[in-house]
Amino acid sequence: MNRKSARKKKEWTETLIFTTPALILVSLMIYIPFVMSGYYSLTEWNGIAKEPVFIGFDNFKKLFSSGSTFAGTLWFTIRYTLFFMLFSNVAALALAVALTQKFRLADVYRGLFFIPYIMSMTIVGFIWKFIFTKGFEKLFSLTSLEFLNLSWLGDPKLAFYSVSFVGVWQALGFYIVLYIAGLQAIPKDVLEAARVDGASAGQTFFRVTLPLLGPSITTCVFMSLTNGLKVFDIILALTKGGPGTSTYSTTMQIYQEAFTNNNYGLGSAQAIIYFVFVLITTQLVLRVMSRREVDL
């Protein structure tokens, strides 16, 4: 009995020793700043003054006032996220199906699609900023194609699609890899049985392959949702939120308010509201996708 107690005590001590550093780091980087943000959201503070001034819920009232731009940035973020989720998953799934076919250079194409994902989003943004301006200008002079002469970053309507396209292009390789892994995990005998039963290629894909890809689809949809909601660096590099505020995401608005305008109270309030929005949205989507996956 004493040996058993000594062993349990030793295991508990080892667990404490190995987990304490991680808990301390997580607390310092996440939990403590989150609690501090909750406090600062109730204050007026410029980040320099010694003591913040407590103002209650005034910052939250400002967010929903008629002159606030927070709702506009939230609407842009929602539209961007929907566009990003739809096209990144549809394109990635289509390319994954194509790249799982047996043909020469399939592995080379997989690598080429994955390269943009390992690049910095800021670098990708600057590359595409050059393409949209100087690159398209040069191509227009050579081909006279009218769409190359459009102001892709200067027109508020086109800027949204430009930013969204670059975001999808950069992340596409990652989702392709996930879908390829899901496709390769599907039992071959199930697909062969469907063909023996007379199912066409389209019927096999939509009635057999796609349902069996449920876990991969859930993962990709959830990850594209979170990546879309936290979009920041690609916009900073491409448009800086312009023209005007047409491509201002909520994360950029929070950054601008807190670190450029030195209004940490209002910036913290925006961060708290956005955290609640993201938490509710992600949980709802994950629950819906999980139920769909079980039904399949």
Domain that holds residue 144: 67-295
Of the candidates 274, 270, 262, 271, the residue with the CA atom closest to the CA atom of residue 62: 270
**Longest Cα separation, the chain:** 87
Query: Is residue 190 domain-resident?
Result: yes
Residue 134 CA to residue 127 CA, distance in Å, equals: 11
Query: CB within 8 A of 171, min separation 6: which ones?
Result: 84, 88, 116, 117, 224, 227
Q: Whole-prediction pTM value?
A: 0.89
Q: What is the pLDDT of residue 47?
A: 82
β-pairing verdict for 43-44 and 53-54: antiparallel
Q: What is the pLDDT of residue 296?
A: 42
Q: What is the pLDDT of residue 294?
A: 43
Query: CB within 8 A of 241, min separation 6: which ones?
Result: 235, 247, 248, 249, 252, 256
Query: Is residue 55 domain-resident?
Result: no
Q: What is the pLDDT of residues 248-258, one digit of tens each?
A: 999 999 999 98
Burial 39-78 (b: 16+ CB within 10 A, else e): ebbbbbbeeeeeebeeeeeebeebbeeeeeebeebbebbe
Shared domain check, 137 and 215: yes
Q: What is the pLDDT of residue 289?
A: 83
Query: CB within 8 A of 238, min separation 6: which ones?
Result: 125, 128, 129, 132, 153, 162, 163, 166, 247
**Tokens at 280, concatenated:** 């509710």
Q: What is the pLDDT of residue 148?
A: 87
**Tokens at 142, concatenated:** 């050579």
Shared domain check, 104 and 35: no
Query: Is residue 179 domain-resident?
Result: yes
Query: Is residue 275 domain-resident?
Result: yes
Domain count, the chain: 2
Residue 229 CA to residue 50 CA, distance in Å, equals: 34
Residue 210 CA to residue 183 CA, distance in Å, equals: 9
Residue 182 CA to residue 180 CA, distance in Å, equals: 5
Shared domain check, 141 and 75: yes
Q: What is the pLDDT of residue 67?
A: 75
Q: What is the pLDDT of residue 181?
A: 92
The DSSP call for residue 153 is T
Q: How does DSSP assign 5-70, residue by residue?
A: HHHHHHHHHHHHHHHHHHHHHHIIIIIHHHHHHHHHTTEE--SSSSSPEE-TTHHHHHHTSTT-SH
Q: What is the pLDDT of residue 196?
A: 85
Query: Is residue 52 domain-resident?
Result: no
Shared domain check, 252 and 127: yes
Shared domain check, 159 and 32: no
Shared domain check, 247 and 173: yes
Q: What is the pLDDT of residue 276?
A: 94
Residue 261, φ and ψ in degrees, nearest 5: -85, -5
**Tokens at 93, concatenated:** 């799934």
CA atoms within 13 A on the CB side of 107: 0
Shared domain check, 263 and 157: yes
Residue 76 CA to residue 167 CA, distance in Å, equals: 14
**Tokens at 223, concatenated:** 């990850």
Query: Is residue 167 domain-resident?
Result: yes
Query: Is residue 62 domain-resident?
Result: no
CA atoms within 13 A on the CB side of 16: 6
Shared domain check, 78 and 13: no
Shared domain check, 282 and 171: yes
Check if the beta carbon of residue 113 is closer than 8 Å to that of residue 95: yes
Query: Is residue 25 domain-resident?
Result: yes
Shared domain check, 24 and 75: no
Assign residue 74 the CATH number of its domain: 1.10.3720.10
Shared domain check, 153 and 34: no
Mean pLDDT by 10 residues, the chain (296 residues): 75 87 91 92 88 91 84 93 96 93 85 90 90 90 88 90 94 94 89 85 86 90 94 90 89 91 92 94 88 55
Shared domain check, 202 and 167: yes
